[in-house]
């Protein structure tokens, strides 16, 4: 389809949006899950839900562009330097602000393995960086630019994440000062890394850690590629990701995993004791979710299992929260942030000051 036709198709899809937003505000403003949200947030959430309901994956991909494109636009908009480290496996580290190596937060974006991070996710992590600096913690924040579908099928993204960790260690960052963070599919990839360290995959070079990672922060982790849990039915129409889109993307991702490797993709369905020994790989673990997101039941189930093998891991749900709720306030430049943002900041400060 030509770019002109693509643009026309996108515009035709968006034309009904104002009427849809008006109806959504009338219908949902007084729902209990929206009681803490401003009108601006309700409009933002509804817009995102409409786009993900009505645009095809190709239209969404064309709209957002590549990870490098999003990063380049964001650095120009906020007048911060664009610092890129090539990792040598068709992957990069994209630094948010200055490249600092005292502590490093390596974050792996979500997007179902086919979309780049939204610019407001970068704004969220910049906010976290600024806030922990106020507490005396100077940390570099680096986004992993990994290969997306259809090129980036398993185990390519896992290999790229492993290379990013090796790169940081070679640069002099101790593992205890590396903090891995992710959202949604990015969490899926971070958990793949833990699985690989516990059960090395023959097609991915292993990493020898001299000490545990400082922390892992899993924000709305995607731990199952199916949508058969009750929360998907309960939260459909409330969460911004439609259940049918989650199912379609999950099926597409699962098709890229050989059957014998499925436990790397769906750790909520992994064999018993899959995470035995994970407490030797990472000091602190924070798992967050929204009370009203489709992934909720899978995340809770994963958290219960994970805590059996890492007893200090925390699982925290935000009341009325939806998928990646902490990012959405930055989408609409909201001043009033949810409960998870200060929690993440607090845990990062603790993790960086007690290593």
DSSP 104-129: EEEEE--STTTS---HHHHHHHHHHH
pLDDT of residue 322: 98
**For 263-273, what is each residue's pLDDT tens digit?**
999 999 999 89
pTM score of the predicted model = 0.95
Q: Which of 347, 346, 327 is nearest to 337 (CA)?
A: 327
User: Per residue of the chain (355 residues), what is the pLDDT tens digit?
Assistant: 556 666 777 777 888 888 888 888 888 998 989 988 999 999 999 999 999 999 988 888 888 999 999 999 999 999 999 999 999 999 999 999 999 999 999 999 999 999 999 999 999 999 999 999 999 999 999 999 999 999 999 999 999 999 999 999 999 999 999 999 999 999 999 999 999 999 999 999 999 999 999 999 999 999 999 999 999 999 999 999 999 999 999 999 999 999 999 999 999 999 989 999 999 999 999 999 999 999 999 999 999 999 999 999 999 999 999 999 999 999 999 988 899 999 999 999 999 998 6
Angle at 266 between CA 158 and CA 110, to 5 degrees: 55
Given a contact cutoff of 8 angstroms between Cβ atoms, the answer to whether 209 and 17 are in contact is no
Please report the pLDDT score of residue 56 as a whole number: 87
Contacts of 295 (CB under 8 A, 6+ apart): 184, 220, 221, 222, 223, 231, 289, 323
pLDDT per position as a tens digit, 201-237: 999 999 999 999 999 999 999 999 999 999 999 999 9
Superfamily of domain 65-353: Alpha/Beta hydrolase fold, catalytic domain (3.40.50.1820)
Query: Rounded to whole angstroms, what are the CA distances from 351 to 217, 335, 354?
Result: 11, 26, 6
Distance, CA of 314 to CA of 311 (rounded, Å): 8
**Which pLDDT score is estimated for 1?**
52
**What does the pLDDT read at residue 325?**
97
Q: How far apart are CA 106 and CA 164, in angstroms?
A: 8
Question: What local confidence, expressed as pLDDT, does residue 253 receive?
Answer: 95
Three-class DSSP category at 270: coil
d(CA 93, CA 213): 18
C-alpha to C-alpha distance for 249 and 239, rounded to whole angstroms: 16
Could you give the C-alpha distances from 314 to 171, 219, 291, in angstroms and in order? 30, 12, 15
Rg (CA), the chain: 19
Where exactly does CATH 3.40.50.1820 map onto the chain? 65-353
How confident is the model at residue 26, as a pLDDT?
84
C-beta separation of 310 from 241 below 8 A: no
């Amino acid at each position: 389809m030509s770019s002109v036709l693509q643009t026309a198709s996108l515009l035709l899809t968006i034309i009904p949006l104002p009427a849809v937003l008006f109806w959504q505000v009338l219908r949902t403003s007084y729902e209990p899950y929206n009681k803490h949200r401003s009108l601006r947030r309700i409009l933002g959430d509804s817009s995102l839900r409409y786009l993900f309901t009505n645009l095809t994956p190709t239209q969404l991909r064309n709209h957002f562009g590549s990870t490098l494109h999003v990063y380049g636009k964001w650095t120009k908009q906020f007048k911060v330097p664009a610092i890129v480290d090539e990792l040598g496996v068709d992957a990069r580290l994209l630094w948010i602000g200055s490249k600092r190596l005292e502590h490093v937060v390596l974050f792996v974006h979500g997007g179902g393995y086919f979309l780049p991070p939204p610019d407001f996710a970068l704004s969220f992590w910049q906010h976290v960086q600024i806030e922990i600096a106020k507490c005396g913690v100077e940390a570099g924040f680096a986004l992993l630019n990994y290969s997306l579908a259809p090129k980036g099928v398993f185990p390519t993204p896992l290999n790229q994440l492993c290379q990013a960790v090796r790169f940081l260690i070679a640069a002099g960052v101790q593992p205890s000062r590396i903090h891995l963070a992710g959202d949604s599919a990015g969490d899926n990839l971070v958990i793949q890394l833990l699985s690989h360290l516990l059960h090395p995959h023959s097609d991915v070079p292993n990493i020898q850690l001299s000490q545990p990672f400082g922390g892992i922060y899993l924000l709305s982790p995607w731990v199952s590629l199916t949508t058969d849990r009750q929360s998907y039915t309960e939260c459909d129409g409330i969460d911004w990701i439609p259940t049918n889109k989650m199912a379609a993307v999950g099926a597409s991702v699962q098709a890229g995993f050989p059957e014998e490797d499925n436990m790397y993709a769906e750790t909520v369905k992994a064999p018993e004791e899959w995470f035995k020994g994970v407490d030797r790989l990472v000091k602190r673990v924070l798992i967050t979710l929204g009370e009203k997101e489709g992934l909720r039941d899978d995340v809770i189930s994963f958290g219960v299992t994970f805590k059996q093998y890492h007893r200090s891991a925390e699982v925290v749900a935000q009341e009325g929260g939806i998928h990646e709720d902490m990012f959405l306030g930055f989408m609409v430049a909201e001043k009033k942030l949810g409960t998870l943002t200060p929690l993440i900041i607090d845990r990062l400060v603790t993790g960086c000051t007690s290593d």
